[in-house]
A and B are shown apart, each in its own frame.
Chain A
Amino acid sequence: MKEILSGNEAIARGAFEAGVKVASAYPGTPSTEILENVSNYASIDSSWAPNEKVALEVAIGASFGGARALACMKHVGVNVAADPLFTASYTGVGGGLVLVVADDPEMHSSQNEQDSRNYAKFSKIPMLEPADSMECKEFTRLAFEISEKFDTPVMLRSCTRISHGKSVVELHEPVTGLPEPRLVKDPRKLVMLPGNARVRHPIVEERIVNLSIFGDSLPINRAEYRSEEFGVICSGVTWQYVREALPQASTLKLGMVYPLPMNLLREFASKVKKLFVVEELDPFIEEQVKSMGIVVVGKEIIPLCGELSPGRIRAAFANTGITVEPAAPMAVDMLPVRPPNMCPGCPHRGMFYLLNRLNAYVTGDIGCYTLGFMHPLNAMDTCVCMGASISNASGIVRSLPVEEQRRVVAVIGDSTFLHTGVNSLMEMAYNNAPATVIILDNRITAMTGRQENPSSGYTLAGEEAPVVNIPNLVRALGIKHVVEVDPYDLPASRKALEEEMARPEPSVIITNRPCCLIKGECRFEKGKVLEVDQNSCTGCKACLAIGCPAIEWKPDASGKKGKAWIDPLLCTGCTVCQQLCKFNAIK
């Protein structure tokens, strides 16, 4: 049976067919839909973890118990999960253990474009890289077999174009006959005290050598001979681009990008007159091939930054005479840009308006609210990584005179707070750093598409779950001043901000309105749709300062004056704009 599946759907299907029993993840674009789809298979215990380190540790535990286990995350999530990853390389596995990482070249939804292949080399474990959805499914199955055969975690690397691309997949039945999970004591292998780890390390080194030899005859490492004049080493989606842009090229398609199949590489290099490596981001394959003493052209012509595409590859090879320079694209007039924006009725909007007005220095974090950076809110000054808002604020106040300290405010969402913000707040309380923290609690992991989290009250499967009480947690961390506010109530929110910013002690403000996109009992409720009384509106533009997509400036015939207008299809009745109107024109 054939279906059109996204790469993420196909990885989930592959996990099902591989007999995976436990899967854990933290959402992150472009990886999020893997676990959402895994949760459709009743045979798999799938769940959201508060962060990627925990997700990987849950999977490692399940593997130790003898089950096939899966952890999924975006590229930067592996930074959080790196600690268990490197040591799981030493312990090896019980049941097969696969870590799926989805990279984001071009940074469509990310803060950097780090190349996760380096993690495979760094932690000395194999990495597979599929080139379409069919391979996503098949490579996931294969990854579990390799994991058990070589007693190693295996990484499967996707990227935005693979995870969110769709292509045709042939479905198969799940494997049968896997051993039943059970407890087996093996502390010398699984307790990584120095004495035990010293025994394991040479085994890890030997394993990676054996995997390279295994890769020489692995069918997913595939030499395809076309022109003798030149050959291209490539993998993943880049292979697709190369086939499109350079149809005459011989290709060595690497399904396993680490360790490299040295003998196969040498053979391929010997059969083509000129050898190239085409890879997105780092010269990962190129450097290893060069260190083998093979002459190869790579980043001399291929860009280091951003995504590749057939056009970029054609342009790169035009310098070699192999392709002709693509024609310049047709010119179109400059248009107004269309960046993403917070939704109409978003509970974050009012807080960012106030932070702007109070001239706060805002340390930001990762989530929808990073859009507080955008004009006209212009209320974010830093954003580094998950949880960094609080610890950055804690650090920045230590470098400042007292009057400047008061301006420092950290903003963080509920999911990000539970991810790694808790540790940061613990530090801030412990060391008495006098900054203000706003926890924008909208009761969902919103930016990635509304996933549940430990304070949302539901599991991945939609079952009711215990709820982390964020105010109590904050108090338990040692914060004495904790204020809860309704972010739709601008005067109350302003009062809370002014008081807490002035206080020379750590303090936390928690907002209490849910994301306006989540539906269901006790969640978002739409208010009365507002309209602008055109007779009362003076055209002062005060309501435009919040940048709500539902409010539009309608210029008059002269184009010099005008009035505000509210789109009734978009307005949720949050009343934030109404509170800014001095002329009672919004009703």
Chain B
Amino acid sequence: MSDITNILLVGVGGQGTLLASEILSEVFMRAGYDVKKSEIHGMSQRGGSVVSHVRYGREVFSPVVPEGEGDILFGFELMETYRYLPLLRPGAAVVANNYRVPSPSILLGQETYPEGLEGKIRSHFPDFLLVDGLRLASEAGNPRVANTVLLGAVSKRIDIDEKFWLAAIEKMVPPKALEINLRAFGTGRAL
């Protein structure tokens, strides 16, 4: 299935992986591809670990990315980014937000947030971009558009004309937040 591109979006329930995967799907459809996407709602919304699958190409069958065939991992949280590395193929690209959300056991002081994840990810996947999403989003004007900065960075790794990305953002983002999201997207794309 070499003509299929497989993207995985991972994070913590409530971080916005859903909206980002919707925007990606819209981009690929607008660019003329077949698209499938899959994710789990429900229990995972309440602070649990979440993973969304987005696939595009000439004809996509399975809505879930076959194990070990992910091409791009889009991580919203550092530990979750590391957790899902086994879904990737060797040589895949990883773009992740340098953001940490403690798990329940870490909040309770029973475990600590794992150290050295950045180096471990890079040792497996040299094409790894760690983005200080919160800082860049704040510089763009609002810390809440960190995901859009990340999306901009991901878009650089996908060979699809920028106009489709901009059109999809325009459709999926509320009008009053459009300008700042476009700016954040540009920031990410320039990384």
Contacts and interface: CB of A to CB of B under 8 A. Distances in A.
A539 to B, nearest CB: 9
A161 B107 contact: no
A340 B43 contact: yes
Given A165-B38, A552-B102, A340 B61 contact: no
B35 interface: yes
B48 interface: yes
A247 B49 CA distance: 32
A340 B14 CA distance: 11
A338 B48 CA distance: 5
Contacts of A365: none
B107 A544 contact: yes
Nearest to A131: B61
A165 B64 CA distance: 9
Contacts of B38: 161, 164-166
A562 B112 CA distance: 13
Interface string A296-339: 00000000000001110010000000000011011111011111
Contact of B26 (A4, A29, A310): A4
Interface string B40-64: 1111111111000000000011111
Interface in A219-256: 237, 240-241, 243-245
A336 B114 contact: yes
Given A4-B29, A553-B107, A335 B83 contact: yes
A237 B63 contact: yes
Contacts of B36: 132, 165-167
Interface in A541-573: 541, 544, 547, 549, 551-553, 555, 559, 562
Q: How large is the interface on B (under 10, 10 to 19, 20 to 34, 35 or more residues)?
A: 35 or more
Contacts of B45: 340, 449
Contact of B79 (A245, A336, A541, A562): A336
B1 A244 contact: yes
Nearest to B40: A108
Contacts of B102: 552
Given A340-B48, A549-B104, A448 B62 contact: no
Contacts of B13: 340
Interface string A410-445: 000000000000000000000000000000000000
Interface string A362-384: 00000010010011100000000
Contacts of B35: 4, 166-168
B169 to A, nearest CB: 15
A128 interface: no
B79 A330 contact: no
Contacts, number: 166
Nearest to B50: A338
A4 B25 contact: yes
Contacts of A397: none
Contacts of B164: none
A389 interface: no
Contacts of A326: 67-68
A161 B51 CA distance: 13
B109 A562 contact: yes
A240 B62 CA distance: 5
Contacts of B1: 244
Given A165-B38, A311-B68, A341 B46 contact: yes
A30 interface: yes
Interface in B78-132: 79-80, 82-83, 85-88, 102-109, 111-114, 120, 124
A440 to B, nearest CB: 15
A333 B120 contact: yes
A518 interface: no
B12 A338 contact: yes
A168 B29 contact: yes
A166 B22 CA distance: 9
Contact of B68 (A160, A241, A327, A342): A327
A442 to B, nearest CB: 14
Interface in B20-41: 22, 25-26, 29, 34-41
17 contacts: A109-B40, A109-B42, A132-B63, A166-B63, A167-B63, A243-B61, A245-B66, A310-B66, A326-B67, A330-B86, A336-B114, A338-B49, A339-B48, A340-B13, A343-B46, A547-B104, A553-B107
Given A4-B35, A553-B107, 19 more contacts: A108-B40, A161-B63, A240-B61, A240-B63, A330-B88, A331-B86, A332-B83, A332-B86, A333-B120, A335-B83, A336-B114, A338-B48, A341-B46, A376-B108, A544-B108, A549-B47, A552-B107, A553-B106, A559-B112
Interface of B: 1, 12-13, 22, 25-26, 29, 34-49, 60-64, 66-68, 79-80, 82-83, 85-88, 102-109, 111-114, 120, 124
